[in-house]
């Protein structure tokens, strides 16, 4: 018998496990709306043209494969802070931003979680209820206590803004508040600018530390600038903020693991110290980050002609998703006009939160071969227009 016979079996990941189940299904009707990965209308993965162009530039310049410094590629770190804050931001000019290239959004969040465990002991991290499932794992595994704040209101399939403010007001002073920068996962429900302003007031009043998770910059509105509005606004109010960035979705670099953790601080001295500690944390976790995707992102962000083209491709991808939102809403309204389906149009980003419960989601999969997470989230990025009617009929079947 194995000495590890006592190890329990961990259930499959709630999101990535859906893709595994999808692969096993042999029915032609099957549709994978589980993972948030962009697909074309013919359900093909999409490699952005700007990525191909950047890779060609890289091949031509015959770059080597030496280790990067622990903090990552210098050109990438500059480009990523500029993409986040806008070019020429006072904080970057004054060297008050500590930016460390890390392993996409997940790795960046984990580095910051380790930092919080080490340097803000006893602080609680507040997560929106619901949130991306991995947030809980990331903070729990780093030994950081986390609690919920209210976010989703099932009655309206909308934001419970009052509940959220009440919970954040009730949190101990100086708590860490995780905020989805845009395109909230899984609900697709973002606060309005006015609501963000009130949240900023509250964070200042309570001395909370806002920690933005920016995994979908460009996917909410189609504009990379507009989607960075919330963290830029908080920084403009003079608050110190933490921001994790991911290029998985907006540059389609899922498997390259490109992202960064940024601490926007009050002065250069603090940024220098924080940077030294982020490096110490990364050194023990994975030593230094991968170079390929960071080169791609830095080339695309820093060359004006490629940056312009990226913005166009971003609009194209987010435009396709907006179109299938309309299609799905249209079909559902036609099939079942007694219900209000407008929430689908009001939600933004890759996802729609359908309000389907666990049992209904199981029917979606078992009977209709539609794969989705059991919280009722569907990834519209994986829905072609041609399948919107099929999806609408299945949803209608489940709610009748
Ligand atoms: N945060 C949120 C809210 C996400 O949805 C995701 C991706 N699903 C991530 C972070 C991180 O993804 P990655 O590690 O691929 O960048």
Q: Which DSSP string do the residues of 242-291 spell out, in sequence order?
A: EEEEE-TTTS--GGG-EEEEEEE-SSHHHHHHHHHHHHHHHHHHTSS--S
Name the residues annotated as catalytic: 132, 213, 249
pLDDT of residue 359: 94
Task: Indicate if the pLDDT at residue 54 is higher than 90.
Answer: yes
pLDDT of residue 315: 94
User: In which band, very low, low, confident or very high, does the pLDDT at 278 lie, cut at 50, 70 and 90?
Assistant: very high
Task: Indicate if the pLDDT at residue 18 is higher than 90.
Answer: no
Q: Are 354 and 376 in contact (CB under 8 A)?
A: yes
pLDDT of residue 157: 86
Measure 338 CA to ligand 1 centroid, in angstroms: 36
Task: Indicate if the pLDDT at residue 52 is higher than 90.
Answer: yes
Q: Could you read off the pLDDT of 124-176 as tens digits, one per residue?
A: 999 999 999 999 999 999 999 999 999 999 988 899 999 999 999 999 999 99
Q: Could you read off the pLDDT of 87-100 as tens digits, one per residue?
A: 999 999 999 999 99
User: In which band, very low, low, confident or very high, does the pLDDT at 382 lie, cut at 50, 70 and 90?
Assistant: very high
Ligand 1 neighbourhood includes 215 CB (under 6 angstroms): yes
Average pLDDT score over the chain: 96
> By three-state DSSP, how is residue 86 classified?
coil
Neighbours of 140 (CB within 10 A): 13
Ligand 1 neighbourhood includes 104 CB (under 6 angstroms): yes
Q: Are 296 and 146 in contact (CB under 8 A)?
A: no
Q: Could you read off the pLDDT of 254-266 as tens digits, one per residue?
A: 999 999 999 999 9
């Amino acid at each position: 018998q194995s000495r590890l016979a006592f190890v329990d079996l961990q259930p499959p990941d709630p999101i990535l496990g859906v893709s595994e189940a999808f692969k096993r299904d042999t029915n032609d009707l099957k549709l994978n709306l589980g993972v948030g990965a962009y697909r074309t209308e013919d359900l093909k993965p999409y490699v952005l043209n700007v990525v191909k162009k950047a890779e060609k530039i890289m091949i031509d310049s015959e770059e080597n494969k030496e280790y990067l410094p622990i903090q990552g590629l210098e050109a990438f770190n500059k480009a990523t802070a500029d993409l986040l804050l806008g070019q020429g931001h006072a904080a970057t000019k004054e060297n008050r931003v500590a930016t460390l290239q890390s392993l996409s959004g997940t790795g960046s969040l984990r580095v910051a979680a380790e930092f919080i465990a080490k340097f803000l002991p006893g602080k609680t991290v507040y997560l929106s209820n619901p949130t991306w499932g991995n947030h809980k794992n990331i903070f729990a595994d780093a030994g950081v206590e986390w609690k919920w704040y209210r976010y989703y209101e099932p009655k309206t399939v909308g934001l419970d803004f009052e509940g959220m403010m009440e919970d954040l007001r009730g949190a101990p002073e100086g708590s860490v508040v995780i905020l989805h920068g845009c395109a909230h996962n899984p609900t697709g429900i973002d606060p309005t600018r006015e609501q963000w302003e009130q949240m900023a007031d509250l964070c200042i009043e309570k001395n909370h530390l806002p920690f933005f998770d920016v995994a979908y910059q460009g996917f909410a509105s189609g504009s990379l600038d507009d989607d960075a509005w919330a963290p830029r606004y908080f920084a403009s109010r003079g608050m110190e903020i933490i921001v994790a960035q991911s290029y998985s979705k907006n540059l389609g670099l899922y498997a390259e693991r490109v992202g960064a953790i940024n601490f926007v601080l009050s002065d250069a001295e603090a940024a220098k110290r924080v940077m030294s500690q982020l490096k110490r944390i990364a050194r023990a976790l994975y030593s230094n980050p991968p170079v390929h995707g960071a080169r791609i992102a830095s080339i695309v962000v820093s060359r004006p002609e490629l940056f312009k083209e990226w913005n166009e491709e971003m609009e194209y991808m987010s435009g396709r998703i907006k179109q299938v939102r309309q299609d799905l809403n249209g079909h559902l309204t036609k099939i079942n006009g007694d219900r209000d389906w407008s929430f689908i149009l009001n939600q933004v980003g890759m996802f729609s939160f359908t309000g389907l419960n666990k049992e209904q989601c199981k029917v979606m999969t078992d009977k209709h071969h539609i794969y989705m997470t059991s919280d009722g989230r569907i990834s519209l990025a994986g829905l072609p227009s041609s399948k919107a009617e099929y999806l609408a009929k299945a949803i209608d079947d489940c709610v009748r």
